[in-house]
A and B are shown apart, each in its own frame.
Chain A
Amino acid sequence: MTQKTSRRTFLKKGLAAGAAATVAGGARAATPDPLITDVQPWASGLGDGVDATPYGLPIEFEGDVIRRNVEWLTADTISSINFTPIHALDGTITPQGCAFERHHSGAIELSKQDYRLMINGLVDRPLIFSYADLERFPRENHVYFCECAANTGMEWAGAQLNGAQFTHGMIHNMEYTGVPLRTILAEAGLGAAGDLADKWVYVEGADASSNGRSIPMEKALDDVLVAFKANGEALRKEHGYPVRLVVPGWEGNMWVKWLRRVEVMDGPVESREETSKYTDTLEDGTSRKWTWAMDAKSVVTSPSPQAPITHGKGPLVITGLAWSGRGAITRVDVSKDGGKSWETARLAKPGEKMALTRFYLDTDWDGADMFLQSRAMDETGYVQPTKAQLRAVRGLNSIYHNNCIQTWWVRPSGEAENVEVS
């Protein structure tokens, strides 16, 4: 059913595009275009007043650019995941309204009035902050990606879900405003902690799941942010309103939402979310723990299964996203032949540390099959591996941290499919 419906929709859209193609580019139109020669209603009548939309949503034609749920992935929708429509987005900033969600006991409603943040444990003065207190500390602004540790996790065993949204959409990238965690820890005083080298912080949320995680002090004092704004406005409810933790480059689970407590400790808690979950089982049955950093990764977002080529041969923009939790992206290579040969793509802007980077390969499509791949490199010199390389080290049961090279098989029809190639 999936294939039939998709194919019918594709053909319908292809026909519409074909009609448009007859009046596009260097071709000569046989008949005048009535969209030009007839006065259209929008060129004669009136649009909406400025009081129509105090806070707007996208125009209805963009109704497909939405978060999507995959029902069979989890037991219910409360402790679950949805996916950012990365196949339809461009640039690097994710619109908050379609940025993915991952909750363990649902998206809770917590007002600024009811919000409290506690700092306790090995500090000089355990403290309670109100939301208003947090807004009085000096602020910083940073753009960072938040990638779920499980992004691409369903693809470990093979090509499974057909679309970049589903295979790579557990990610968003926002400009955060907030207070460095180190500033707040300093307010509580770290003298009592003594040597900080072996100290940890335990962070937890106000929701029922609590999502408690242990973070080594070195990271806590480096770049972790207690954030209350994203992309210019308050956090969305589902992203932790009014306060979340931002942990640059590290797996999304540690970006604790509705942050309510930070405890300075002399060791890790080994909580459920860092023992049962977010540990990565290797082929011999042992498991890695504390796999915090998200390694360099990329994906072609268009063309892709949800964004087929509908314009026929000729100029084609191949575009996608690259990111690394260990620093800035320095280069992205694109292959059209399944990795036999590679061309270096153009970065829209120089890569920034722990943030999404947009790449383009402007090409001329001859209408033949393509096996599209992208391969990211970061400033450490690390080159994004193939799935075979990852499997050789880890086996098939790691669940998390799948940063393999993705392949889309683009057919002469322009349709694209998620495949694995030899």
Chain B
Amino acid sequence: NPVFAEGFGLGREALPAEIAAWDLDVRPDGTGLPAGSGDVLTGEEVFADKCASCHGDFAEGVGNWPKLAGGWDTLADEDPLKTVGSYWPYLSTTWDYVNRSMPFGDAQSLEADEVYAIVAYILYSNDLVEDDFVLSEETFADFEMPNQDGFIVDDRIETEHAQWVGEPCMENCKEDVQVTMRAMVLDVTPEAETAAPEAEAAVAPAAAPA
């Protein structure tokens, strides 16, 4: 298709300043990191000011808000605690996500040096660095996260699909059926919030509001 090959001539060239404003992503090897640095103690101050109201003074989390520290060696437990320290494979992700999307409700308000400092403090909160640690675009590459090798690429085709294909059982598939769990015993399903009818199928006009 000659038209397609030549393109449609739609859009305009992106300017370098525009790309720089929006292309903020940081790769695991550090590509995309801006120049800058921050230390743990500065990070502690910034964190107390901008992060601790939700994430706690020690990044341990407040209420239901995410815990950023702790949970080491719990990934195989019944109730794993997944934090930056216990779970996240790459430091780049912490930098990238804090820089672009935090604080919640005031994203993209942090200077590069503040982000370096906050990330340094999160590492310190996870017992991964000493309190004199300075994170910069240079020291970044030296750091390896504890769970970096904890991930495998989706293997469902081999481990699951291979055994769950073919003609399934249609008759006499099992001898006995026993109820082992009941949602009504747990009783955590919300009721209707308002005076509106409950979310159950209306069965007759008489069931509708007057």
Contacts and interface: CB of A to CB of B under 8 A. Distances in A.
B165 interface: yes
B89 to A, nearest CB: 6
B181 A420 contact: yes
Given A163-B189, A422-B178, A269 B80 contact: no
Nearest to A67: B199
A70 B175 CA distance: 37
Interface in B73-131: 75-76, 78, 80, 82, 84, 87-90, 92-93, 96-97, 100-101, 104-105, 107-108
A158 B152 CA distance: 26
B49 interface: no
Give chain A's interface residue range (CB within 8 Å of chain B). Answer: 35 or more
A382 B162 CA distance: 8
A68 B200 CA distance: 12
Given A186-B7, A202-B25, A2 B189 contact: yes
Residue among B7, B10, B165, B202 with the highest chain A CB neighbour number at 10 A:
B10
Nearest to A290: B154
B108 A9 contact: no
A69 B190 contact: yes
B171 A341 contact: yes
A381 B87 contact: no
Q: Is the interface of B mostly helix, strand, loop or mixed?
A: loop
B201 A128 contact: no
A369 B66 CA distance: 43
A20 B204 contact: yes
Given A189-B7, A310-B203, A158 B196 contact: no
A341 B19 contact: no
Interface stretch (A140-148, A218-226, A332-340, A348-356): A332-340
Contacts of B180: 419-422
A339 B177 contact: yes
B interface, size bucket: 35 or more
A289 B155 CA distance: 9
Interface string A240-267: 0000000000000000000011010101
B170 A342 contact: yes
Interface string B173-201: 11111111111101111111100111111
A341 B207 contact: no
A261 B193 CA distance: 38
A383 interface: yes
Given A263-B25, A420-B181, A166 B189 contact: yes
A12 B207 contact: yes
B35 interface: no
Contacts of B191: 1-2, 5-6
Contacts of A292: 154
Contacts of B198: 5-6, 9, 64
B8 A419 contact: no
A286 B151 contact: yes
Contacts of B209: 60-61, 63
A96 interface: no
B166 interface: yes
B150 interface: yes
A162 interface: yes
A187 B168 contact: no
Contacts of B65: 75
A50 interface: no
Nearest to A35: B205
Contacts of B78: 396
Interface stretch (A129-137, A170-178, A229-237, A358-366): A129-137
Interface of B: 4, 7-8, 10-14, 18-19, 22-23, 25-28, 63-66, 75-76, 78, 80, 82, 84, 87-90, 92-93, 96-97, 100-101, 104-105, 107-108, 150-156, 159-161, 164-166, 168-184, 186-193, 196-209
6 contacts: A63-B196, A128-B11, A128-B18, A137-B10, A163-B189, A267-B27
Pairs of residues from A and B, 6 with the lowest C-beta to C-beta distance, nearest first: A285-B76, A338-B177, A285-B75, A75-B64, A208-B107, A418-B183
